[in-house]
Amino acid sequence: MRVLRFLAFLALVVGTGIAGPSALIATVARAQAPAAAPYDDAEAQLRVRQAGTAVTAATSDVEQLTVALQAERKRVVQTSDERDLNQATIGELEKKLTRAKAVLQEKQLALKAAQEARAKGLDADAQRQRALAPAPAAPATPAPPPQRTPAAAAPRPPPEPARPVNEAPWAAIQRVGIVGTWARVCNQAASPSNWIVTYSATANGGAQSRSNNGEVTRLTVVDSAQVLTPTTIRLRLRYAYPQWGTTNGSIYDVVAEVVAKRSRALQSIRGDGTALIKDGLFVSNGQPSISMEKCSN
C-alpha cells in the first residue's frame, strides 16, 4: 500500500511539473550521500617515505653501476680474449646503467607526485576544517572588573609542558639499531664516495662514530640522542677531531631513519641554523639523502 501511495505521489509531482524525475532522484541521492572522509595525512606521509626509499635504492643502483663501469673502462688487458671480454662487459654495464637511470627518473617523478599530492591533501583538508568550523559567537557583555583587595596574590602562570627527556646516547642508539658499521656499499673499500662509519660506546653511556673516507678517519661525538619512533632517532653530533679542519667543533642536529638494515638522514641542521637536509632531501639540489647499508654489528 505504501508503495502505491509513493508511486501516485511521484506521478502527481511529474504530471504537475513540480519537479522532474531526474531532479527528484538527484535530491534523494544528495540526501543519502555519505560525508567526505577526513584526510589521512599518515597514509600520505607513508607514500612519500616509500617513494623516497625507492628513489634512494634507484640512486644506489646508478652509483654502483657507474663505479663498476668506470673500473671496467680503466681495466688493463693483455690479450685479445681479455680485450673482447672487457668490451662485452662494458657494453652490458652501459645498457644496465641506461636502464637504471630511466628507473631513477621514474622514481623521482613518483616521489614528486607523492609530495604534491600530500600538499594538495593538506590544503584541501585545511579548507574543509575551515568550512566546518562554527561561526564565532557574538561577544558577551563584559562583566564589571573585580574589586581588588590588597591581599590578593598574583595568579600563578600555568606549569610548562613536560619536555621529552633524552636517553643516554648509547642506549638510544641501541634501541633504534644504529650500532655497528655502515657504508654505502659494504663490500667496497672506504673512499670519498663510500664513507665507512662505525658507531661505538664510550664511558658513562656515551657514544661516538668514526668516519673513514679511505684517506683519514675522523671522530664525531654523539652529545645527545632521543628515540622519536621505533625507526627514527634524533642525534646531536659534534665534530671532535682536528682532521675535520675548519669544521672541527661544528654541531649538527640530525634525524635519522633506520629501516630494514638501511639508514639515511631525514633532517640535518647545522649549529648556525642552516638546513642541509629536509624531508629526506638535500636542500642544495633536491636529491635524496645518502642511503647506507649495515655491514656489521
- pLDDT for residue 232: 92
Q: Which of 6-15, 40-49, 94-103, 151-160 has the lowest mean pLDDT?
A: 6-15
First and final CA of the chain: distance in angstroms? 79
Give the dihedral of Cα atoms 227, 229, 232, 234; nearest 10 deg: -30
Q: Which residues contact 191 (CB under 8 A, 6 or more apart)?
A: 213, 214
Q: Which CATH architecture has domain 169-296?
A: Beta Barrel (2.40)
**Average pLDDT over every residue of 131-147:** 69
Q: Which of 63-77, 160-174, 208-222, 240-254 has the lowest mean pLDDT?
A: 160-174
Confidence of residue 17 (pLDDT cuts 50, 70, 90): very low
| CA-wise closest residue to 193 among 62, 72, 58 | 62
Burial annotation 168-194 (CB, 10 A radius, 16+ → b, else e): bbbebbbebbbbebbbbbeeeebbeeb
Q: Which of 65-69, 144-148, 193-197, 248-252 has the lowest mean pLDDT?
A: 144-148
Which residues lie across from 234 on neighbouring strands?
226, 255
Per-domain residue ranges of the chain: 41-131, 169-296
Is the pLDDT higher at 139 or at 111? 111
Residue 18 confidence (pLDDT) above 90: no
Which residues lie across from 212 on neighbouring strands?
196, 217
The grid cell for 41 is 595525512
| CA-wise closest residue to 290 among 251, 254, 247 | 254
Angle formed by the axes of helices 80-132 and 41-74, nearest 10°: 160
Q: Quick one: what percent of the chain has pLDDT higher than 90?
A: 29
Give yes or no for a contact between 183 and 199, defined as CB atoms under 8 angstroms apart: no
Q: Which of 47-56, 129-138, 153-162 has the lowest mean pLDDT?
A: 153-162
Residues 220 and 231: their CA atoms lie apart, in Å, by 22
Is the pLDDT higher at 17 or at 121? 121
Residues 222 and 200: their CA atoms lie apart, in Å, by 10
Phi/psi of residue 108, nearest 5 degrees: -65, -40
For the chain, the average pLDDT equals 79
- pLDDT for residue 183: 94
- pLDDT for residue 181: 94
Cα–Cα distances (Å) from 25 to 14, 18, 19, 21, in that order, read: 12, 13, 10, 6
What is the three-state SS of 140-201?
CCCCCCCCCCCCCCCCCCCCCCCCCCCECHHHHHHHHCCCEEEECCCCCCCECCECEEEEEE
- pLDDT for residue 227: 92
Q: Which of 18-27, 178-187, 282-291 has the lowest mean pLDDT?
A: 18-27
- pLDDT for residue 82: 81
Each residue of 33-59: pLDDT tens digit?
455 566 677 888 888 888 888 888 888
Give yes or no for a contact between 93 and 69, defined as CB atoms under 8 angstroms apart: yes
Residue 152: half-sphere exposure toward Cβ, Cα within 13 Å: 7
Phi/psi of residue 278, nearest 5 degrees: -140, 130
The grid cell for 280 is 629526506
- pLDDT for residue 275: 92
Phi/psi of residue 166, nearest 5 degrees: -75, 140
**Average pLDDT over every residue of 283-297:** 90
Residue 131: half-sphere exposure toward Cβ, Cα within 13 Å: 7
Residue 154 confidence (pLDDT) above 70: no
Give yes or no for a contact between 250 and 244, defined as CB atoms under 8 angstroms apart: yes
Residue 27 confidence (pLDDT) above 80: no
